[in-house]
Amino acid sequence: MDTPIAVVGAGPAGLMLAAELRLGGAQVTVLERRDRPATESRASTLHARTMEILASRGLRELFGELPCEPRGHFGGIPMDLTLPSDFPGQWKVPQTRTEALLADRARSLGAEVRRGWTVRGVTAAGDHVRVTADTARGPRELRAAYVVACDGQDSTVRTLLGADFPGRPARREMLRADVGGIDVPNRRFERRERGMVVAARNPAGVTRVMVHEFGRPVRAGREPDFGDVVDAWKRVTGEDLSGGDPLWVNAFDDTDRQLARYRHGRVLFAGDAAHVQMPIGGQALNLGLQDAVNLGWKLAAVAGGRVPADLLDTYHDERHAAGRQVLANIRAQAELLLGTAAVEPVRAVVAALLAAEPNRVRLAGVVSGLGLRYPAGPDDHPAVGTRLPGVDLHDGRGLLVAAPSTARDAIAAGWRGRVRTASGPVPATGTTAALIRPDGHLAWAGTDPTAARPALTRWFGPIDRREKELS
Ligand SMILES: Cc1cc2nc3c(=O)[nH]c(=O)nc-3n(C[C@H](O)[C@H](O)[C@H](O)COP(=O)(O)OP(=O)(O)OC[C@H]3O[C@@H](n4cnc5c(N)ncnc54)[C@H](O)[C@@H]3O)c2cc1C
C-alpha cells in the first residue's frame, strides 16, 4: 500500500477531509490536478454550523475578523437566519481564503498534497484501490486502502465508477460577472417582468451582477462572455453595462443531483462530487465541509483498524439524508427565485408563512445547518443526533462528559486515545453525562457513564483490553 487513504481533489471538501484524517491519526495523500490553487471567486458564505465546527477545532481565530450578515433569504424572500448559536448569521469569506487556510492546516498536520496529479483511473482490487494519474512526469500509479473522491461537481471518480447519480439536469441558469467601472443600483434578488437581477457593489468599487431571464433555456456548449451578460442585463433592466470592465464572468445553473450511495466499498464521495445543486444561499460549500467533518474521524478509525468498516455506512446514512434535505430545500428556492410570474402567489404564501416564527426557525435551521439531527434510536435521549455546540473538540477525539468517578476513569482507560473526559453536567441535554462525537454531534446522554459503553463501542470501536483488566 502506498498510502492508507488517497483523497482526490484539493478543494475545500478534500482539504478539510485531509486535515480531519490527520487529526484522527491517519496518513493521507491528496491528489490534485491543478498546479496551484484556484483563484476564481466562488462561494463566499460560511453558515453558522460551519463556524461552530471551525471554532470547535480551534480554527475560528485563523479567519480573523469576518463580516457577518444576519439577513438571509429563502428563494429571494428575506429571512432572518439568526438562531441560538455563538455564530448566528452568514459569515462572509472568499472561497480562496477558506481554501488557503484549510490547505495550510492540512499540511501543518502532516497531510501530503500532490499537485499536478490528474486522476484518470480508479479500480477497486480486493483489499485496496488502484489509482492512476497523469502527471508532468508521465503516468503514475498509487495503491490506497481507501479513496475519497472530493473532485467536485464533474467528478472523474464518479464517472469512472459509473455511480448512480439520479436527479435533474439544468433547466435554468444565471449569468454572473464581477465588473469594475459601472454604476448601477444595488439590488437584492429583484424580480422584474423579464427576469431576476442582483447587483452588489463592494468597497473596492467592483460590482457583482447576476441575471436570469425568465423562461430562457440553458445555453449549451459555450462558456458565457461579458457580451452575454450585457445583453441579458439590458433585456431585463434596460441598463447598459457595456462600458464596464469585466473581471470575471461565469454562469451557474440549477442542476440537481445526488449520488444514490456515498460509499462504494473502499471508495467514498464527499462535497460536490456527491451532490450537485444550485449555489443558492451559499449552502454547497458548507455541505461539503460538513461531509468532510462527518467522514474524517470515521475513516481514520476504520483505516487504523480500530473500528469495523461498516462504520462508514453511517457516513452515507447521515450525510445522504442531510444532503437530501438541503437539496430539496434548494429546489424549492430555485422555483421561488427563478419561476415566472406564475410563481408570485406561491411567493406571497411562503412570505406570509415565514413571518411565523416556528416556520422561520425551521427553514433557517436547514439553511444554517443548525437544525440538523442525525438519526437516533428509539430509546435514545431526544437530543442524540443533534449538535452540541460550544464544546472544545480541537484534538478530534470524542468527549465523555461526566463527573469524576471510577466508572469514568475506567472508560477513559478503555477508550484511551479515542475519547477524552471532561466534567459535567450537560446543560443542553439536562443530564449529568454525555458522549460527544468528534464532529460535535451527541452520541449518548444519561446519568450513569457506564451506560455509554454501547455508544462508545459503536462509534469508537471495541474497548481496549487494558480497561477490561481495570474494571
Ligand atoms: C464557477 C463556480 C461558481 C460557484 N459559485 C458559488 C457561489 O456563488 N456560492 C456558493 O455557495 N457556491 C458556489 N459554487 C460552489 C462551490 O464553489 C462548491 O460547492 C465548492 O467548491 C465545493 O467544494 P468541493 O471541494 O466539493 O469541490 P471543488 O471546489 O470543485 O474542488 C474539487 C477539486 O478537485 C480537483 N479535481 C477535479 N477532477 C480531478 C481529477 N480528475 N484529478 C485530480 N483532481 C481533480 C479540482 O481541480 C478541484 O480542486 C461555485 C462553483 C463553481 C464551480
Per-residue pLDDT of the chain (471 residues; tens, 9 = 90+): 899 999 999 999 999 999 999 999 999 999 999 999 998 878 889 999 999 999 999 999 999 999 999 999 999 999 999 999 999 999 999 999 999 999 999 999 999 999 999 999 999 998 999 999 999 999 999 999 999 999 999 999 999 999 999 999 999 999 999 999 999 999 999 999 999 999 999 989 999 999 999 989 888 878 899 999 999 999 999 999 999 999 999 999 999 999 999 999 999 999 999 999 999 888 999 999 999 999 999 999 999 999 999 999 999 999 999 999 999 999 999 999 999 999 999 999 999 999 999 999 999 999 999 999 999 999 999 999 999 999 999 999 999 999 999 989 888 899 999 999 999 788 889 999 999 999 999 999 999 999 999 999 999 999 976 555 544
pLDDT at 344: 96
- Cβ < 6 A, ligand 1 pocket: 8-14, 31-34, 42-43, 45, 95, 117-119, 150-152, 156, 250, 252, 271-272, 279, 282, 284-285, 288
Could you tell which of 31, 33, 96, 267 is best to mutate to test the pocket of ligand 1, judged by most ligand atoms within 8 Å of the CB? 33
- 181 CA from centroid of ligand 1 (Å): 29
Could you tell which of 155, 252, 262 is best to mutate to test the pocket of ligand 1, judged by most ligand atoms within 8 Å of the CB? 252
Which atom of ligand 1 is least distant from the CA of 34?
47
**CB-based contact 269:160 (threshold 8 Å):** no
Read off the C-alpha cell for 107: 499540511
- 341 CA from centroid of ligand 1 (Å): 32
Which protein residue has the closest C-alpha to ligand 1 atom 2? Answer: 42
Read off the C-alpha cell for 260: 444514490
Q: Which of 118, 143, 438, 122 is nearest to 264 (CA)?
A: 122
DSSP 3-state assignment of 84?
coil
Which atom of ligand 1 is least distant from the CA of 117?
43
Amino acid identity of residue 26, one-letter, is A
Half-sphere exposure of 73 (CA within 13 A, CB side): 17
- 119 CA from centroid of ligand 1 (Å): 16
- 285 CA from centroid of ligand 1 (Å): 8
- 397 CA from centroid of ligand 1 (Å): 29
Which atom of ligand 1 is least distant from the CA of 12?
25
Could you tell which of 29, 42, 131 is best to mutate to test the pocket of ligand 1, judged by most ligand atoms within 8 Å of the CB? 42
Q: How far apart are CA 440 and CA 245, in angstroms?
A: 45
Which protein residue has the closest C-alpha to ligand 1 atom 9? Answer: 43
- 230 CA from centroid of ligand 1 (Å): 26
Read off the C-alpha cell for 437: 462525537
CA distances from 272 to 20, 262, 345, 428 (A): 18, 11, 33, 33
Give the ranges where 265-356 is alpha helix by DSSP (H): 284-303, 311-338, 344-354
pLDDT at 1: 84
Which protein residue has the closest C-alpha to ligand 1 atom 41? Answer: 119
My answer on whether omega of the bond before 425 falls inside 30° of 0, hence cis, is yes
pLDDT at 465: 65
Instruction: Say which residues have a Cβ less than 8 Å from residue 393's Cβ, sequence separation at least 6.
Output: 56, 57, 399, 436, 438, 439, 440
pLDDT at 471: 46
Amino acid identity of residue 60, one-letter, is R
Half-sphere exposure of 344 (CA within 13 A, CB side): 10
Residue recorded with cell 427576469: 195
- 153 CA from centroid of ligand 1 (Å): 6
Which protein residue has the closest C-alpha to ligand 1 atom 18? Answer: 285
Give the gyration radius of the chain's Cα atoms. 23
Instruction: Say which residues have a Cβ less than 8 Å from residue 309's Cβ, sequence separation at least 6.
Output: 302
Half-sphere exposure of 80 (CA within 13 A, CB side): 10
Which atom of ligand 1 is least distant from the CA of 287?
19
- 87 CA from centroid of ligand 1 (Å): 25
- 324 CA from centroid of ligand 1 (Å): 19
pLDDT at 304: 96
Residue recorded with cell 491543478: 34
Which protein residue has the closest C-alpha to ligand 1 atom 7? Answer: 43
Count CB neighbours of 226 within 10 A. Answer: 18
Burial class (CB in 10 A: 0-12, 13-18, 19+), 277: buried
**CB-based contact 434:442 (threshold 8 Å):** yes
- 148 CA from centroid of ligand 1 (Å): 15
- 66 CA from centroid of ligand 1 (Å): 22
